[in-house]
Structure 1
Amino acid sequence: MEAAAHGTTTISPQLAARAERGDLLTLGMEEEYLLVDAVEPRGVETVEAVLDEVPEELRPSVQHEYLRSQIEVASPPQLELAGLYAAMSRLRTGVADAAERAGSRLVAAGAGPAAGPNSRLVDNPRYHRMREQFGDLAPGQGLCGTHVHVSIPDPETGVRVLNHLRPWLPVLQAAAANSPLFGGHDTGYASWRSMMWERWPTVGPTPYLHSHEHYLTLLADLRASGAMLDEGMLYWYARLSANYPTVELRMGDVTPTLDDAILLAALARALVTTLLNEVRSGAEAPDVPHPLLMAAHWRAAKDGLEGLGLDMASREPRPAWRLLRQLVAYVRPELERYGDLELTTVLLDRLRSRGTGAARQRALLAKGTPVAGVVDWLARTTRGET
């Protein structure tokens, strides 16, 4: 629930110069994970022991999350997709190793798949204030998402990009769906995390914003209302980062494979860059009605990519995969310019053949795999073993 430190990175002078000119946008990623027992599939409160086992060189990029059965990592900002892949691979492997040394396992799932006791809060004054103000809005073992940061030239431009992003986020949410199970049963949703997450008062689609001043006024009004304690509790599906010069896309579950996470990051940067070009050309963002966006995000949570999505142009249901293909076609020129098209195509084909995390979990259940076996698969997949 708090942004982790972005850290530092080493990039070539040529790429750094292009980024400085605004030719290329940097990107970074945060992932939240569950910690489960080494033998049973239930969540365990081992975050302190895991942090003690994290290698020193990774420690600046790893931190607590809201509950003691969760942990979060954040990559340094990157210009190259391969660099992001390498950074996140080191973090996933390093934290998974640390979890095993602490007697638990690292699981990339949007919500706790297996039944078990509710986890206690991390002993953090801010989290205690949140519990006092908002009560038990985070039951279970934790809700875990993926956040992608893409750099922007200034906040005013960032606000205009947020307006243009609104119609595209449901299909990215569908692609990340990875929480069909909760408490040991199939919820009927591809992303049950999305449904539980929406109980917080500031979760939802980004409203249409008239200016950066309007954005700041809304934040002040929300704080005054008591709906959030600070800017870090602005949980819109896309927002300006409170800590970095980025827009932050935060509508998706954490994905079981790093492949799926990197695909999401590549599409996010290409989309933000494409929309930045529209902003600079003077194009107005479509003012999609808020109830329609809510319906589209509900549809994404319900079906993932394996069912229907809501086409924001026609306002009619369409196969979700068709909508994702449309997004890829829309941002293809920027994927090519960044040199990301080849890898994105490979990752997209893998997602198509394997299905989302939600689909893969359900495929295991359909074969008779028990929930404990699904959690074992998630732990091995998080490490990159499947």
Structure 2
Amino acid sequence: MRVLTMGVEEEFVLVDRRSRAPVNRAPEVIRRAGHELGEQVQTEFFNAQVEICTQATANRQDLRAELAWLRAVVGKAAREVRCMPVACGTPVLPPEEPLTVTDSERYRLMARQFASLVTHEDGRARDDGLVCGCHVHIGTFDREHALALAQHMRPWLPVLQALAGNSPYARRRDTGHQSWRAVEHARWPTVGPTPVLDEAQYLAHVAQLVRQGTLLDNRMVYWHARPSEHVPTLEIRIADANADLDTVVLLALLVRGLAATLLPRVEASVPAPHVTAPWLLRAHRLAAAQGITGLGLDPFDGRERPALALLDSLVTLARPGLDATGDTDWVLEQMERVRADGGGAALQRAVFRRDGRFSAVVDALAATTARS
């Protein structure tokens, strides 16, 4: 079986070490971290965010080691300007200062073209758009094969989304969701399941969206699975940022194992499973609301089943890909851990039940983000 490479992009919110609220210090953090990391540390839409990007690798240990190194360098740079990087889908506390948009031509254009998503009618900056995700890049694919593989993978993406739910709190309140990031991010155009398109249809569709002003450019295609426009990969975009490093590696391995298992079907021109857009939307909404501690929708019959049982089914399906890279035993060990602790959202709520303070939740997230 073909061994695919994988890479991870992680977004962090920067919070003040005293107030634990988001702060606009990304330019200083990126300048300091960039001396060592170069382009592997990058800006995001708001100045209260930082993104790190790994190199492509086929090895689990190398991926984990690089993520730990990137996090450590960013953490050191953040300490120098009195803040901390926190891996969480939404900030637990609201900012105490207005959020500012990163000063680049593209982000300025986005802020103007999509002003209603960035500012209130009175001109005040909105703070409900600050979300942090974790994106997994798989393989080396041309656009045609990336689109085809996305069609085969998309029934299983809600299960992976449920695994990665890590944003139950937003702006000092319990949202009732496991992933509130999924709800807030969905306000942006094209966020959602990948449409069924071949390469020619994709190019025509995206070009029309840009002409209509729905998108600024083709890099604004925010589907849950998309052909990356800056590297020749399939990019999976359904996960919250997770503080626990092993959860991030587990997500990447499951995405890679699933892709490797399904790729022979793509290469044999086997039709992708037929799933309707309403079903997929419902499955993703359920994943955002209940995560792995609740129910999900079975990709085969559409019935509600425990999310953990669906995750077991995904691991069974991905097993040939996991076996091919020697990752099966490690994945099964991590699955037992996740089953026991309930995942990121459950861990955040456990901290709040114990301490009764949102600042304690932020501290726990920051400590876990820094721990390798």
Indicate the TM-score class for this superposition, using the shorter chain for normalisation. over 0.9
TM-superposed CA distance for 1:115, in Å, is 2.3
**Does structure 2 conserve the Cα–Cα contact (< 8 Å) formed by 1:53 and 1:102?**
no
1:273-284 counterparts in 2 under 5 A?
273-284=260-271
**Higher mean C-alpha displacement, 25-34 vs 43-52:** 43-52
TM-superposed CA distance for 1:206, in Å, is 0.5
Corresponding residue for 2:319?
Answer: 332
Corresponding residue for 2:215?
Answer: 228
1:173-212 counterparts in 2 under 5 A?
173-209=161-197, 211-212=198-199
Between the aligned partners of 2:109 and 2:93, the Cα distance in structure 1 is 28
Between the aligned partners of 1:258 and 1:116, the Cα distance in structure 2 is 25
Corresponding residue for 1:307?
Answer: 294
Between the aligned partners of 2:297 and 2:279, the Cα distance in structure 1 is 9
TM-superposed CA distance for 1:154, in Å, is 2.6
TM-superposed CA distance for 1:55, in Å, is 5.7
Secondary structure of residue in 1 paired with 2:35:
coil
Is residue 266 of structure 1 aligned with residue 245 of structure 2? no
Secondary structure of residue in 2 paired with 1:36:
strand
Between the aligned partners of 1:52 and 1:234, the Cα distance in structure 2 is 28
2:35 aligns with one of 56, 81, 91: 56
Between the aligned partners of 1:354 and 1:311, the Cα distance in structure 2 is 23
Secondary structure of residue in 1 paired with 2:36:
coil
Q: Provide the aligned length of Structure 1 versus Structure 2.
A: 363
Between the aligned partners of 1:280 and 1:309, the Cα distance in structure 2 is 29
TM-superposed CA distance for 1:97, in Å, is 1.3
**Does structure 2 conserve the Cα–Cα contact (< 8 Å) formed by 1:190 and 1:301?**
yes
Write the deviation string for residues 38-82 of structure 1: whole angstroms up to 9, x where unpaired: 111210111111123216231220011100100000001101111
Corresponding residue for 1:93?
Answer: 72
1:93-242 counterparts in 2 under 5 A?
93-117=72-96, 118-138=98-118, 139-140=126-127, 142-209=130-197, 211-242=198-229
Secondary structure of residue in 1 paired with 2:237:
strand
TM-superposed CA distance for 1:219, in Å, is 0.9
TM-superposed CA distance for 1:179, in Å, is 0.6
Secondary structure of residue in 1 paired with 2:292:
coil
Is residue 75 of structure 1 aligned with residue 54 of structure 2? yes
TM-superposed CA distance for 1:94, in Å, is 1.1
> Aligned-pair RMSD on alpha carbons?
1.4
Between the aligned partners of 2:368 and 2:302, the Cα distance in structure 1 is 36
Between the aligned partners of 1:250 and 1:348, the Cα distance in structure 2 is 21
TM-superposed CA distance for 1:116, in Å, is 2.4
Write the deviation string for residues 285-317 of structure 1: whole angstroms up to 9, x where unpaired: 112110110000000000110101111211111
**Does structure 2 conserve the Cα–Cα contact (< 8 Å) formed by 1:208 and 1:287?**
no
**Does structure 2 conserve the Cα–Cα contact (< 8 Å) formed by 1:177 and 1:252?**
yes
Q: Structure 1: which 5+ residue stretches go unaligned?
A: 1-21
**Higher mean C-alpha displacement, 239-248 vs 335-344:** 335-344
What is the identity, as a one-letter code, of the residue corresponding to 1:130? M
Is residue 44 of structure 1 aligned with residue 39 of structure 2? no
Secondary structure of residue in 2 paired with 1:166:
helix
Q: Percent of pairs identical after alignment?
A: 40
**Higher mean C-alpha displacement, 342-351 vs 286-295:** 342-351
Alpha-carbon spacing, 1:55–1:129, altered in 2? closer, same or farther (3 Å): closer
TM-superposed CA distance for 1:367, in Å, is 1.9
Between the aligned partners of 2:74 and 2:279, the Cα distance in structure 1 is 39
Corresponding residue for 1:4?
Answer: none
What is the identity, as a one-letter code, of the residue corresponding to 1:121? V
What is the identity, as a one-letter code, of the residue corresponding to 1:60? E
Corresponding residue for 2:3?
Answer: 24
Between the aligned partners of 2:116 and 2:243, the Cα distance in structure 1 is 27
Alpha-carbon spacing, 1:153–1:124, altered in 2? closer, same or farther (3 Å): closer
TM-superposed CA distance for 1:153, in Å, is 3.8
TM-score (norm 2): 0.95
Between the aligned partners of 2:355 and 2:368, the Cα distance in structure 1 is 19
Secondary structure of residue in 1 paired with 2:273:
coil
Between the aligned partners of 1:110 and 1:136, the Cα distance in structure 2 is 21
Misfit runs of 4+, over 6 Å: none
**Higher mean C-alpha displacement, 139-148 vs 313-322:** 139-148
What is the identity, as a one-letter code, of the residue corresponding to 2:157? L
Between the aligned partners of 2:30 and 2:19, the Cα distance in structure 1 is 21
TM-superposed CA distance for 1:380, in Å, is 0.2
Write the deviation string for residues 98-149 of structure 1: whole angstroms up to 9, x where unpaired: 1111110110010111122441101111111111111142532721000000
Corresponding residue for 2:123?
Answer: none
1:248 aligns with one of 226, 235, 239: 235
Is residue 320 of structure 1 aligned with residue 307 of structure 2? yes
Q: Structure 2: which 5+ residue stretches go unaligned?
A: 119-125
Secondary structure of residue in 2 paired with 1:29:
strand
What is the identity, as a one-letter code, of the residue corresponding to 1:169? L
